Amino acid sequence: MVDRVRLDKNGEDYFFKISKEDCEKLNADESTTFEKIISLDGSQITFIKIDKPEPDVNKIVDSLMEEDSEFMKELSNL
């Protein structure tokens, strides 16, 4: 489906309006996360709905560092 939308501005932010019908088709609400992809030449922007947000990599690394702290200390001494 192709539809034209206008870029709007609110304060310092710009945004695209999405209709209620489009949100229903996407099964999206204000808590839905989208990945934004801008073409290299800046002529296209694509939004892809993220069904499951990627885990926070920093939290995973911190957890691994805590669990394997002795091993990590040994590695840093090599």
Percent pLDDT > 90 in the chain is 49
Domain ranges across the chain: 7-76
Contact of 58 with 66, CB cutoff 8 Å: no
- C-alpha to C-alpha distance for 72 and 64, rounded to whole angstroms: 9
Structure confidence by residue, pLDDT tens digits, 19-73: 999 999 999 998 898 999 999 999 999 999 987 766 777 788 778 777 777 777 7
Contact of 18 with 9, CB cutoff 8 Å: no
